[in-house]
């Protein structure tokens, strides 16, 4: 059965806008994933260690018949093919692709926690998610809109309205 999945994208190195654009192009050209919605493109103040460049953030909705772990593998191979090197925790990165919601499932495994464990406190995830899923409720019944109302858009700027962003 195909599930609707939301994936958050982030980059703050090597032309972040281009990194996110190319990542969505790659996801969409994969036979196992179909992009069915795309947020606006945001620039955001870095959360984490200071002194790193601003980020670009976005969220895509996809449908897929892959299992959560198969999807994680597919997204990690896109991260790697885009030159991602995992180094400093919370440090700068070329491309981050995080599964934030997988249908209505809750998953707690060694490799995967869904809903994503920090999405509730990250407006650079929640605000773009609201663009693609304005009526969304989390598996625990919380309305996304209420979470966005709580956090606000502080530190976020919309830099492109519609995909393709560049
Ligand atoms: N900060 C912002 N603004 N956007 C991100 O995508 C992002 N990703 C991260 C950390 C380092 C936590 N900070 C971020 O992984």
Work out how many domains the chain is built from and give that number: 1
Phi, psi of 63 (to 5 degrees): -110, 145
CATH number, position 127: 3.30.70.560
Is the pLDDT assigned to residue 92 strictly greater than 80? Answer: no
Instruction: Confirm whether 42 is domain-assigned.
Output: yes
- Whether 27 is covered by a domain: the verdict is yes
Q: With a 6 A CB cut-off, is 44 part of the ligand 1 pocket?
A: yes
Residue 163 and residue 19: Cα distance in Å, rounded? 13
Q: How far is the CA of 159 from the centre of ligand 1 (A)?
A: 17
CA of 68 to the centre of ligand 1 (A): 22
d(CA 164, CA 22): 10
Q: Domain range holding 76?
A: 3-160
Give per-residue pLDDT as tens, 44-86.
Answer: 999 988 889 999 999 999 999 999 999 999 999 999 888 766 6
Q: Is residue 166 part of a domain?
A: no
Asked, for residue 165, whether it belongs to a domain, the answer is no
Please give the structure tokens belonging to residue 89.
Answer: 């925790």
Q: Which atom of ligand 1 is nearest to the CA of 118?
A: 12
pTM of the model: 0.96
> Is residue 79 within 8 Å of residue 95, measured between CB atoms?
yes
Q: Could you confirm whether 98 is annotated as catalytic?
A: yes
Phi, psi of 131 (to 5 degrees): -60, -45
Question: What's phi and psi for 79, nearest 5 deg?
Answer: -55, -45
């Amino acid at each position: 059965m195909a599930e609707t999945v939301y994936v958050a994208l982030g980059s703050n190195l090597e032309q972040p806008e281009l990194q996110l654009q190319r990542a969505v192009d790659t996801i969409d050209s994969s036979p196992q994933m179909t992009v069915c919605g795309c947020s606006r493109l945001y620039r955001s103040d870095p959360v984490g260690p200071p002194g790193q460049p601003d980020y670009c953030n976005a969220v895509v909705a996809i449908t897929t018949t892959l299992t959560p772990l198969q999807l994680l593998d597919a997204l990690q191979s896109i991260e790697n093919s885009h030159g991602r090197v995992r180094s400093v925790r919370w440090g700068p990165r070329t491309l981050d692709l995080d599964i934030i919601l997988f249908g209505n499932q809750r998953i707690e495994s060694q490799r995967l926690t869904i809903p994503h464990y920090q999405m509730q406190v990250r407006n650079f995830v929640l605000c773009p998610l609201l663009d693609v899923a304005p009526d969304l409720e989390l598996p625990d019944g919380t309305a996304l809109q209420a979470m966005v109302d709580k956090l606000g858009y502080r530190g976020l700027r919309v830099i492109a309205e519609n995909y393709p962003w560049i």
